[in-house]
Structure 1
Amino acid sequence: MAEPFPLQPSLWASTAAPAPATAPLGASTRADVAVIGAGFAGLSTALHLAEAGLRPVVLEAREIGFGGSGRNGGQVIPGLKYDPDDLVQRFGPERGERLVAFAGGTADAVFDLIDRHRMDVPHTRTGWIQGAHTDEGLVQAERRAAQWARRGAPTRLLDKAQTDRLLGTARYRGGWLDGRGGAIQPLSYARGLARAALRAGAVIHTDTPVTAIARQGRDWVLRSAHGPEIRAERVVICTNGYTGGLWPGLARTVIAANSFQVATAPLTDNLRRSILPEGQVSSDTRKLLLYFRLDHTGRLLMGGRGPFREPKGPGDWAHLERIVAKLFPQAADVGFDHRWCGRVAITRDFLPHLHEPAPGLLIDIGCQGRGVGLQTSMGRAIAAYLATGAADALPIPTSPIAPLPLHGLHRLYVSAVIAWYRISDGGL
């Protein structure tokens, strides 16, 4: 997939800790498990496999964190798109509550890894606020906070005055706060995961696109673009929003929507005290949600949907810059010094999917915009499944690969839906 319009490096590329030394695959070799993709899911899988005593080899087409893992908003939000009671209704009491527990612990997984491996990753953990812009959104916030609170999560409802103060904008009617959430520098975190995986015994080859995968006897054979091959009894594909044609039909099971972001110049101390003064991260209840936070350099970040296509120029981020001025008029004159975007893999049912189309081949796809915690935890679960063979190590059952009907028309459909949501969400 083409790289976004090269205006300047993303904020994360400009401020990340150095990447560990890696190199392309230079000679054919064997691995216990071959992992395709060096994002959060692939790196977490490799780290936990290595800690379990297996020898994983990671193959990355570009560089560590090149895809959505190094381009997202850096918000660590527990849970899934569905509320806990909805998951229990969908999957049944036992499996549903197990999935709720898994989803509720995804933020813990990230911050625990950062602490345990002493990663050089700027991070905060003061919670996530979901602001409600309508009365319907307030009802949704009350329901979510109550369901998570019944399961022991540190949640609280926020009235309008509290929401105004904590967010620094008067545009919301109230909301709720989930104390489990937080923020990280996502590219630093991807590089920290890679460094930890290497120390544990994993091997990572960057600039090594996999061009073919085939079964030969008991082995899977992965051919790289440079020619060398890797043989492994087991393979994990973790390419998410940057999935190509490596496995038949896989790319057509998701919509790889583009998530656009802008970052202001560093705010003055006075402005920082007026916007997200306690350091929470936020995304709202809009259908076309907005997400925003401060980073460790004091910049205000705003993210949301943009054109489905790759950007052509600075104008593709103009809607986000206008939103910053409307939500935070006190920052209207600050100016912006970073613009970037990255692909998010969205499934038809808004749930992560695990596929096992052949023995020894496991595919993880679908992050729905909560990939930092979700894919970190998914990698840990995949490693446990491969190391033990226990199916209940996976948070969701595997399912057949089912391409979306008329997938080629979905870009037009998504673009039309985005335009409609912008109108129905209140015209910000």
Structure 2
Amino acid sequence: MFPSLPGLPVWRRPAGTPTLGFIDGQVDLLVVGGGYQGLSAAYHAARLGLKVQVIEARGLGEGASGVNGGQVIPGLKHDPESLRQLLGEEAGQRLADFSAGTADSVFDLIRTEGLDVEHQRNGWILAAHTESALQAAVRRNRQWRMRGADVRLLNEAEIALLIGAQGYRGGWLDRRAGAVNPLALIFELARLATRSGAGLLLNEAVTDLQRRGSLWVASTDSGRTLLAKKVLVATNAYSGALIPGLAESLVWLHSFQIATAPLPSTLLDQVLPGGQPVSDSRRILVYYRRSPDGRLIVGGRGPMREPRSKEDWAHLERAMLRLFPALRDVAVTHRWFGRVAITPDYLPHLHEPAPGLLMVAGCQGRGIGLMTALGPNLAAYAASGDARVLPLPVTPLRPIPFHRFRRIGVAAHVAWYRLLDSLER
């Protein structure tokens, strides 16, 4: 039987550890959830002089923040023109401007604070496996080049040279992007937050939130209580019943990953010789990168249930060999999985269902950059109450109709899309 979260990722933990602590009495901001969003907001709020407490139900990095693929991608699933159509000219432009700089936020923080996080910033490739996918890349390239972004199209020969895999019609290179050790980043964000004065409590769940006058009263499963002027619920794919309707507004999926043994030197020039992380354009996303110690890491969607055996990762091994047949004799040494959340419109959603109760959910594969970059904005809003500092519009919390049946529908769609992908060459 394979273990449940966090699984067996290959990521190194940094040497430094955050200081744990609980602030008795009253705080300015309670953060529920210790992922990128929660810890970034806590760090920036503490720097603004707010008294901040973070409470995380698990250990650091045991959710999606520690078991993801480490790709740091700016932008969103929707391109700038689509954002303006969906949200209106002003709100769409504001979100497009913000999303353009999300990778900058991560890499600038690593550099300015000297964080112990392995990283590289030589771009990210969206690989187009069909002509229609290539035309979508052409449209994306046009929109971002008009905004001055450092991006370009790749033809069939160029993408084969950079990736080492055959069969792609072309692709799109976004040089603003890169990759990090995601587990190291979450530990270093926690260290920054606690060093700045935030309290951090791990392996303890907030089980109840009640409004009492102008304050929020939080209770935990260990019997603690805390008063807070404002609360940020940063639980995303791990949202439960704490906020009615939040979990039901999201579709969660399992992201499965495998890692090989370190590649022999004879294969390093054949497997991702350009060093960029890659996302495939297939309906069922496949993404891959080289790790700092020279392994190939491949990720993609897995079963809706928790894994039962190695066979639940077999589809990723098949994808790996389809892309890189030379790896047939290279062992797969690590297998792990985590939960991610998407929204029906593929946009991040910001809600404030009651005064002083804030939440952002829905990463759509952009979580590291998006949620880390949101930290300063959420902190500024907690300090000032001025919604103009928020790059996202505040929207009502709307549960998805028939949400209890969503897993069945998603599983059916995944199976159907995987069949369609297998028929396309």
**CA RMSD of superposed structures (Å):** 1.6
- Sort the Cα spacing of 1:142 and 1:7 in 2 relative to 1 into closer, same or farther, 3 A: closer
C-alpha contact (below 8 Å) 2:6/2:66 kept by paired residues: no
Output the CA distance in 1 between the equivalents of 2:68 and 2:3.
Answer: 13
Output the CA distance in 1 between the equivalents of 2:225 and 2:77.
Answer: 39
Question: Where in structure 1 are there 5+ consecutive unaligned residues?
Answer: none
Mapping for residues 280-295 of structure 1, pairs under 5 Å: 280-295=276-291
Shift of 1:187: 0.6
Letter in 1 for 2:422: G
1:165 counterpart = 2:141 = no
Letter in 1 for 2:331: G
Shift of 1:10: 1.6
Structure-1 residue corresponding to 2:130: 134
Output the CA distance in 2 between the equivalents of 1:331 and 1:112.
Answer: 35
Identity, in percent, stands at: 49
Mapping for residues 151-190 of structure 1, pairs under 5 Å: 151-190=147-186
2:391 to 389, 395, 398: 395
Question: Where in structure 2 are there 5+ consecutive unaligned residues?
Answer: none
Deviation string, structure 1 residues 186-235 (Cα, Å, up to 9, x no partner): 01000011111111111111111111111111110111111111111100
Shift of 1:24: 6.8
Shift of 1:426: 3.0
Deviation string, structure 1 residues 305-335 (Cα, Å, up to 9, x no partner): 0001111121110110111011111112111
Structure-2 residue corresponding to 1:411: 407
Structure-2 residue corresponding to 1:10: 9
C-alpha contact (below 8 Å) 2:6/2:338 kept by paired residues: no
2:28 to 20, 32, 43: 32
Structure-1 residue corresponding to 2:422: 426
Secondary structure of 2:167's counterpart equals: coil
Secondary structure of 1:273's counterpart equals: coil
Output the CA distance in 1 between the equivalents of 2:3 and 2:146.
Answer: 43
Structure-2 residue corresponding to 1:257: 253
Structure-1 residue corresponding to 2:229: 233
Output the CA distance in 2 between the equivalents of 1:170 and 1:382.
Answer: 43
Secondary structure of 1:410's counterpart equals: helix
Secondary structure of 1:274's counterpart equals: coil
Secondary structure of 2:189's counterpart equals: helix
- Give the TM-score, by structure 1 length: 0.96
C-alpha contact (below 8 Å) 1:24/1:207 kept by paired residues: no
1:96 to 63, 72, 92: 92
2:323 to 318, 321, 327: 327
Shift of 1:258: 0.4
C-alpha contact (below 8 Å) 1:17/1:188 kept by paired residues: yes
Deviation string, structure 1 residues 322-357 (Cα, Å, up to 9, x no partner): 110111111121111111111111111111111101
- Give the TM-score, by structure 2 length: 0.97
- Sort the Cα spacing of 1:420 and 1:118 in 2 relative to 1 into closer, same or farther, 3 A: same
Output the CA distance in 2 between the equivalents of 1:67 and 1:414.
Answer: 21
1:20 counterpart = 2:23 = no
C-alpha contact (below 8 Å) 1:75/1:183 kept by paired residues: yes
Output the CA distance in 2 between the equivalents of 1:220 and 1:19.
Answer: 33
Letter in 2 for 1:277: P
Secondary structure of 2:269's counterpart equals: helix
Output the CA distance in 2 between the equivalents of 1:65 and 1:405.
Answer: 31
Secondary structure of 1:425's counterpart equals: helix
Structure-2 residue corresponding to 1:364: 360
Secondary structure of 2:210's counterpart equals: strand
Letter in 1 for 2:262: P
C-alpha contact (below 8 Å) 1:24/1:206 kept by paired residues: no
